[in-house]
Amino acid sequence: MRRLLPILSLLLLLAGPAASAQVAARVDTSAFRARQLIAPGVLLTSGVAIHCFGHDAVDVPVNTWTQEKWRRGRPELGFDNYIQYLPLAMDLSLGLAGVPSEHAFVDRAIETALGAVTLGAISWTMKTVINSPRPNGVDGRSFPSGHTDWVFLGAELVRMEYGWGWGAGAYAIATTVAVMRNYNNWHWLSDCLAGAGLGILTAHVGRWMLEPTKRLLHIPTIPWDGVKRPVQMAVAPTVDPFSGAVCTTLAISF
């Protein structure tokens, strides 16, 4: 029960973005769908339940098997520290490379920023207040997994913007990071489940808040890479009125 109380209080923080998202849904009916809460809700609830009631029955045996049967004393593999940001980079860059996306670059950047700020605030607060020891005993910032929530934020953004073709690859990266957090003995299973749910949820928060934020800040929809427009170039001769020198003016519109 002592594990449950701080988590229950912190879950109230999720109600703020979720409530705002539902208000935004009334303005932009294409943004919010109740089914979007299913996957993050199941993952987050499973992580909280195991953390609070099944730590000794689930977390500890999974960690013991991973360290004794799979890792077996091998050195830590640190590539998860780097690939956690790959899906976020994919979300912003694939459209620039010509992959059809749901939104243009500016909208994707705003959507990503909103999700990232929301995730950072919630994840940092949970880690600080809950004070859950890591399996390797380094500190008490184990729950939820920060690497996992960031990579799943990016994976869900990729899926929403580009569909499951690219989303499947992004989710494969996200799952790899979650598994490696267990393998490297930095997190329990419940940490990664909760982190995955939190990342997916805040990706949708970014989507729900996109249009209200643009309206609030008077940001226009800029069809940079969402709508392909031809690049126009014009070259015109000009004369400097002071020196009389003949110059050339180059104008590019894209």
Residues 103-162: pLDDT tens digits?
999 999 999 999 999 999 999 999 999 999 999 999 999 999 999 999 999 999 999 999
Give me the torsion for CA of 215, 218, 219, 221, rounded to 10°. 60
Measured CA to CA, the distance from residue 15 to residue 44 in angstroms comes to 14
Please give the mean pLDDT across all residues of the chain: 84
Residue with tokens 């869900």: 156
Residue with tokens 């690497």: 147
pLDDT digits over 38-56, tens only?
A: 999 999 999 999 999 999 9
pLDDT bucket at 249, cuts 50 / 70 / 90: low
Q: What share of the chain is helix, strand, coil (3-state, %, to 5)?
A: 65, 5, 30
Measured CA to CA, the distance from residue 231 to residue 72 in angstroms comes to 57
Predicted structure pTM score: 0.78
pLDDT bucket at 239, cuts 50 / 70 / 90: low
